Amino acid sequence: MKRSGSKQTRYCVGSRQSRVQAFSLIELLASIAIIAILIAVIIPAISSTREKGQRAACVSNIRGLLTATLQEATLNNGVFPDLHHPGLNYPYWFEADSLESFRESNGLSRDAFYSPSNSDWNAEAYWDYSSGARVGGYLYMGNDNNWGASATVNGAKAVDLPFFAKRMVDETAYQHLWVDLTRELSGGWGAGVNHQESGIPTGSHSGYRDGHVEWVPWEDLSERNLQVGGVKMRF
Full-model pTM: 0.78
Q: Is the pLDDT of residue 194 over 90?
A: yes
- Provide the CA 35 distance to its chain's centre, in angstroms: 31
| Better-scored residue on pLDDT, 136 or 157 | 136
pLDDT confidence bin for 175, thresholds 50/70/90: very high
Whole-angstrom distance, CA of residue 183 vs CA of residue 190:
9
Any residues with CB less than 8 A from the CB of 217 and at least 6 apart, and which? 202, 203
Tens of pLDDT, residue by residue over 145-156, are 667 777 888 866
Mean pLDDT of the region 193-212: 93
pLDDT confidence bin for 2, thresholds 50/70/90: very low
Give the whole-number percent of the chain exceeding pLDDT 90. 54
Is residue 89 within 8 Å of 146, Cβ to Cβ? yes
Is residue 114 within 8 Å of 137, Cβ to Cβ? yes
Q: Is the pLDDT of residue 30 over 50?
A: yes
Whole-angstrom distance, CA of residue 168 vs CA of residue 191:
32
Is residue 104 within 8 Å of 85, Cβ to Cβ? no
Whole-angstrom distance, CA of residue 22 vs CA of residue 9:
37
